Structure formats: C-alpha cells, structure tokens
C-alpha cells in the first residue's frame, strides 16, 4: 500500500486515539538487521532498574530467526518489571493502532531502505528512538526532533534515551504531550497534497 495513502486514510482517527495507561514501547521485527539482539539487551537492562515499569509489545512477520525468537520467549518469562507481549502476526491496521497508542517506537535497525513505520509513528504522535541510519531516522527523527536518533550503534546511549523519555513521561507529562503534538505536526508535512505541490515545483524547476 502507498505510504501517503495509508497515512491519509488513518490520520483523522489517529488524532483521536489515547495512549495506553501503562508506559508502552513498541518494536517490530525479528532479525539482526532489525536490531532484535539490541532489543534483548535493552529489555534485560531495563528490567533490572527497580523504578522502571513498562509494557513491551513485539511483533514479527514471516521472516523469523528461530534463535532470536527463542531468546525473546525465554526472556518473556524472566522479566519482573516489564510486561512483554509477543505476537507472530498482526494486520497492518492493528500495528498502526498499537503504534498510535504506544509511548515510544523503538527502532534499533542497523540498515533500512527507508523505515515506513517511523513515519507512521511520527504521524500518530508517537516519538521514535533508534539509531541514526540513512532513511526516516535521519531525515525525519533527527532533522525534526521527533524523538532521538542516536549515533550507531551505541546501545548504552539508546538505553539512556529510553529512560529519559520514561522519566519525562512520568514527571513532565505536559512536555511529553507537547512532543506528541510536534510529532503530529511533522507528520502533516508528509500530507499527500503538500508532497504533490512540492513534486510539481521540482518538475517545473527542471523543465
């Protein structure tokens, strides 16, 4: 499905969706390229922090590395402060709904062609935390401040930024709400009509 069409079709409903009551982090993927190994380390470290309480929703599709799934499932039964939910398949609509209700999209990918889910997250008002790699992380998140784009591949820095976002959410809810609003405004920059006008402008400049 075209990303612009997708965003336009869900934008009005996204603005009406409330966040989950429990601080929720969303991650999608089950491969080294997507950063599942990083996520395993992050969850292990966060679970040892007594004051940190959160929900971690993880989804994956057809491409699965059995050893990573096994490690995730083992960790699911060991964590005390983190409620892990693992889903093997969710529809695109359901994923979009979960992203919009989550507080953070965790995007520790090591390589991406673009990162469509990042743009979906920003448009729904959900900040993104991940590595500063080419694509949406660099062009959207780093450029406009819709979360944190961290120097690759500093896992400890990634962990600190998650904690920063968690503390902000708990102690400065108005600031967190403002960040959500900034994300939505940036998402509007990718409105179909705006992009079409820019496209026409570029064409005119080269004709």
Asked if residue 9 belongs to a domain, the reply is no
CA distance 107 to 136: 11
Residue 107 in any domain: the answer is yes
pLDDT at 94: 93
Per-residue pLDDT band for 6 (boundaries 50, 70, 90) equals very low
Burial 79-94 (b: 16+ CB within 10 A, else e): beebebeeeeebeeee
What tens digit of pLDDT does each residue of 80-110 get?
Answer: 999 999 999 899 899 999 999 999 999 999 9
pLDDT tens digits along 156-199:
999 999 999 999 999 999 999 999 999 999 988 876 555 446 54
Going by pLDDT thresholds of 50, 70 and 90, the confidence category of residue 75 is very high
Query: Is pLDDT above 70 for 23?
Result: yes
Structural domain count, the chain: 1
- pTM, rounded to two decimals: 0.85
Domain that holds residue 173: 22-206
Answer whether 89's CB lies under 8 Å from 61's CB: yes
10 within domain boundaries: no
Domain for residue 71, yes or no? Answer: yes
In a domain, 163, yes or no: yes
Name the percent of the chain in helix, strand, coil, to the closest 5.
55, 15, 35
CATH of the domain at 61: 3.40.50.2000
Do residues 105 and 126 touch, judged by C-beta distance below 8 A? yes
- pLDDT single digits (tens) 36-47: 999 999 999 999
112: three-class secondary structure by DSSP: coil
Q: Is residue 148 part of a domain?
A: yes
Q: Tell me if 160 is assigned to some domain.
A: yes
Query: What does 148-170 look like in DSSP terms, one character per residue?
Result: EEEPTT-HHHHHHHHHHHHHHHH
- Average pLDDT of the chain, as a whole number: 87
Inside any domain, residue 177: yes
């Amino acid at each position: 499905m075209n990303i612009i069409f997708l965003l336009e079709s869900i934008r009005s409903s996204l603005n009406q969706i409330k966040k989950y009551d429990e601080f929720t982090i969303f991650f999608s993927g089950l491969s080294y390229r997507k950063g599942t190994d990083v996520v395993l380390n992050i969850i292990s470290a966060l679970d040892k922090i007594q004051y940190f309480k959160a929900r971690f929703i993880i989804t994956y599709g057809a491409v699965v590395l059995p050893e990573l799934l096994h490690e995730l499932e083992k960790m699911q039964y060991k964590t005390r402060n983190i409620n892990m939910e693992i889903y093997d398949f969710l529809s695109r609509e359901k994923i979009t709904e979960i992203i919009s209700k989550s507080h953070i999209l965790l995007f520790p990918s090591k390589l991406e062609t673009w990162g469509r889910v990042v743009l979906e997250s920003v448009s729904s008002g959900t900040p993104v935390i991940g590595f500063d790699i080419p694509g949406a992380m660099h062009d959207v998140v780093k450029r406009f401040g819709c979360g944190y784009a961290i120097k690759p591949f500093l896992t400890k820095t990634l962990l600190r930024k998650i904690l920063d976002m968690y503390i902000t959410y708990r102690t400065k809810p108005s600031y967190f709400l403002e960040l959500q609003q900034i994300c939505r405004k940036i998402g509007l920059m990718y409105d179909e009509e705006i992009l079409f006008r820019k496209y026409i402008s570029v064409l005119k400049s080269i004709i």
